[in-house]
Amino acid sequence: MRATWGVAKLYTFLTSNLSNEARFQYGRDFEYEFAQPPTSYELANFVSSPNFPAYTNPLGLPPDVFITNGFDMGVPTFLQRPKYPDERRTQYADTVSWTRGKHALKFGVDFAHTNDVAQNLRFQYGSFSYSNLGNYFSDFYGVNTCSANDSSGTTTKVPCYSSYQQAFGPLGFTFNTNDIAFFAEDTWRATPRLTLNLGLRYEYEMLPSVILPNSAIPQTQSMPDDKNNLGPRIGFAYDLTGDGKTSLRGGYGIYFGRIINSTIYTALTNTGVSGAQFSYFFTPTLGAPSFPQILSSQPTTSSALALTFFDKHFQNPSVQQTDLTFERGIARNTVISASYLGSFGRSLPNFVDVNTGAALTNIAYTVTAGGPVPGGTYTTPLYATSVAVTKDSAGNAISTTPSTRPNAAYGSLTNVFSGVSSNYNALALHSIAR
């Protein structure tokens, strides 16, 4: 990783009560990471495997192997990363300060242009996922040793992994974003004992236009354009007794976050058309390669092709923050205080596959008592393209119930939506002795 930045500021005092601060910043965030050379074990078993003499890994690096108990080996799914990102940001901000009577006013503008060069093809070297070590060893010592029953009841031999994923396409893309903000603020000494802070800020994140729209998926043909990000700010400080020993302070504000550029990158590039990045997700019943075989070329089928897009009602994330503090001086050098702190996230982003159809079955979880959730069994619907119980290779079968996706032409269709909320409440007690 390399981080480089420079900041220049110019302060200008126009009159005794009017000043201007101009600020310019240039920064570069260059992040890169490469996989370590494969171990002798990985070379022997995943690049040229003695258990599979006819197999030679066409990419020369071992695929990722993830086992549910936390064991992971091979090339991590997020590598290689020659540039992810090579981000260059140019920012200009200007703030005017004006003092007039009981008012201290500020007005400002902030503009930032970000150029992103992102070179990262996730799952480029393939990724096998296993539910347990037994299934991994079954695949390691033999080809297609597990069984599955299809919808007609026919039993076929399949690999024992839970899923396989691999991506194809160009390594990276370049795109730009612009962030624009305006604000106004007034610090008003309303009375000798009461000071008010009133402010308003507007923010707009201008996203790039789509570069690879898919005519078959309307959601890939546009990017979010959220223009209603108006955040009020209010605060006060009040001397309760008039002697400077007891005060009450509080504030409330709405703040907006950015749509992060890595999510923008995924939505721009995973659209399923020529020139895009193609990510394929397979279960053992969908014709995926046998372990440790990876795909040497892009599949001709699109039924396992995964796409990502923004919901048409997507909003920038926001947070409402509030606080209220009571402070009292109890001795010459000692102050105690009690504060309430609240933070409430709204329109937070989440990701959901909208191409799963109806729930196939229910799945139960057993929770042990002792934590914040009471003990017991909790049942929730399971949305999937198939339900399978994988067992070992000693003759036990994988019982599989297939389900047709609503849009059978594709695999997962990931919708990036802003429907998550969070709530945080806290009480803080302080004692300060000087």
Query: How do residues 360-393 score in pLDDT, each as one tens digit?
Result: 677 777 777 666 667 778 788 777 655 544 444 4
pTM of the entire structure? 0.82
Query: How do residues 60-100 score in pLDDT, each as one tens digit?
Result: 888 999 998 778 888 899 988 998 889 999 999 999 999 99
The structure tokens listed for 58 are: 């066409």
Query: Where do runs of H (alpha helix) occur along 354-423?
Result: none
Q: Report pLDDT for 283.
A: 82
d(CA 114, CA 27) in angstroms, rounded, equals 9
- Evaluate if residue 112 carries a pLDDT over 60: yes
- Evaluate if residue 47 carries a pLDDT over 80: no
| Torsion sign across C-alpha atoms 56, 62, 64, 69 | positive
Query: Of 144, 125, 138, 130, which Cα lies nearest the Cα of 289?
Result: 144
Query: How do residues 273-294 score in pLDDT, each as one tens digit?
Result: 999 999 998 888 756 788 888 8
Q: Report pLDDT for 403.
A: 61
Q: Report pLDDT for 395.
A: 44
- Evaluate if residue 111 carries a pLDDT over 90: yes
Q: Report pLDDT for 402.
A: 54
Q: Report pLDDT for 49.
A: 64
Q: Which residue has the higher pLDDT, 414 or 149?
A: 414
Q: Which residue has the higher pLDDT, 118 or 358?
A: 118
The half-sphere exposure of 274 on its side-chain side, counting CA atoms within 13 A, is: 0
Which amino acid is present at 129?
A: S
Hey, where are the domains in the chain?
2-130+162-355+405-433
Q: Report pLDDT for 68.
A: 83
Average of per-residue pLDDT across 194-203: 97
Q: Report pLDDT for 286.
A: 58
